Amino acid sequence: MPSKTSVCSLKPEAQARPGMPMCLQLWQADSSPRPLLLAGYEDGSVALWDVSSRKVCSRVACHTEPVMGLDFDSQEARGVSGSAEKTLAVWSLDEQQALQTLANNGHVSSI
């Protein structure tokens, strides 16, 4: 963006204190015309944003340390995140756009 003009701001609810976003992934589901954004935060949570409405659809606490990276497979509706505590969490997205951790509270591996 040559103009460096902000086109959209996403701000968490007043009571939410996730800290800074550490990683992001933007995509658009085949079944929806609205863009969605996954964000990993300093508090160890992953949030799903509806960019058009600028609201959080769902948030899940995956880690006790900041989320340093995440990836999401929209075909399988499953994702993985890694944190500063050297663990991976696996989570899914259901039909109601709710994030849920999988397998042993989501912690599946230690690096």
Q: Is the pLDDT of residue 21 over 60?
A: yes
Q: 62 near 45, Cβ under 8 Å?
A: yes
Model pLDDT for residues 47-102, shown as the tens digit of each residue? 999 998 999 999 999 999 999 999 999 889 999 999 999 899 999 998 888 999 98
- Tell me the mean pLDDT in the region 28-57: 89
Q: List the structure tokens of 19.
A: 């800290």
CATH fold for the domain made of 21-110: Thrombin, subunit H (2.40.10)
- CB atoms inside a 10 Å sphere around CB 26: 11
| Strand, helix or coil for residue 40 | strand
pLDDT in the model for residue 107: 42
Return the domain boundaries, the chain.
21-110
Comparison of pLDDT for 13 and 35, the residue scoring more = 35
Comparison of pLDDT for 43 and 8, the residue scoring more = 43
